Amino acid sequence: MAGGDIPRRGLFSMALFASFAGLLRRTRATEQRFPDIAEFREIVIAAIKRLPGVESAVADPSDPAKINTRIGNEDVTSDVTNIFGYLNSYPDENAEAAIDRFVRVLTAAHLTKVGENNLIAVVRTLQYADQLKSPGTELLYEPLVGELAIVYMADLHDSISPISSKDFPGRALSDLRDVALNNVKKWLPKIVSDGDVGIAYLYYVEGNTMLSTSLILLDEFWMSIKPHFPGDVLFALPRRDQLFVFDASNPNAQNAARQMIDVTFKDGFNLLSDKIFERRNGKLLAQA
């Protein structure tokens, strides 16, 4: 190849990568805002201790990102990895406000009553569900496709929290599934789409972004995007708060989906899955 020439496919990949960077609206700092996660954890611990209902908050000696907190008569372990990565990736965000939300979420999840009105279905991995299991508690979740699972949670102020069967004694999972999906459907008018890259669309739920990946569970969502995607699609869920959909008939869709996942995973926070999935003939499928 002549010196300095770039293959046509390489030009496409570079342009696509640049477009994805714009689509994700990443604003990076030249230096990390909080260079050490253990030091950042101490800031969060101090904020947790100021909350009513918190008896103690101490650093977990086995992990520089974890905090062991006593709230009322409950022991709670939290992890600052996501908020640490978020604030370093978005340097213009108000750090004090973000930390305040994080610690309020921690207490709200254990002090707020769970009921039908705040029951939702979210998409997580089976590994995530396994990590949440604890002796004597039956976490409400079910396999979805591939490594993905539907996890049933309580939609609380500023947070979502896993629930167990004891929160809904005597209720069948099929009944709770209907309730949870109906609550997610209420957010359909809040869907925002971004099609800056013609081959892909980003979808998220404004005001409740953690429901963005739940959209794949709703036939109503897939019907609403028919004008853009009349046939089969590929989709990616690299983060818990974003859904990317690609036209499966486009020969570049596979490569585009892989690059989108790779770009997102470089940020290293709020990650969900590095796999590519399909919706073919109305069914969700995992790629081999």
Cβ(160)–Cβ(112) below 8 Å: no
pLDDT at 9: 30
Phi, psi of 244 (to 5 degrees): -110, 130
Neighbours of 37 (CB within 10 A): 16
Cβ(277)–Cβ(237) below 8 Å: yes
Residue 4 DSSP code: T
Cβ(277)–Cβ(233) below 8 Å: no
H/E element, 247: strand 243-247
Q: What mean pLDDT comes out for the span 206-210?
A: 90
Q: Is the pLDDT of residue 278 over 50?
A: yes
Instruction: Give the chain's count of helices (H) and strands (E).
Output: 8, 13
pLDDT at 138: 75
Residues forming a β-bridge with 111: none
- The answer to whether the Cα torsion of 258, 265, 285, 217 is positive or negative is negative
Mean pLDDT of the chain: 84
**224 pLDDT tier (thresholds 50, 70, 90):** very high
Was domain 37-111 assigned CATH 3.40.640?
no
- Rounded CA-CA distance 260/245 in Å is 11
Residue 207 DSSP code: T
Length of the chain: 288
Residues 70-96 have pLDDT tens digits of 887 778 888 898 889 888 877 888 899
Neighbours of 60 (CB within 10 A): 14
Q: Of the candidates 235, 225, 238, 230, which has an alpha carbon nearest to the alpha carbon of residue 271?
A: 238
Cβ(277)–Cβ(286) below 8 Å: yes
What is the model's pTM?
Answer: 0.73
Residues 17-65 have pLDDT tens digits of 445 555 554 434 445 678 889 999 999 999 999 888 888 999 999 999 9
Angle at 60 between CA 128 and CA 73, to 5 degrees: 80
Residues 148-198 have pLDDT tens digits of 999 999 987 667 888 888 889 899 999 999 999 999 999 999 999 988 766
- Rounded CA-CA distance 208/213 in Å is 11
Residues 107-123 have pLDDT tens digits of 766 656 688 999 999 99
Domain with CATH 3.30.250 in the chain: 37-111
Neighbours of 249 (CB within 10 A): 11
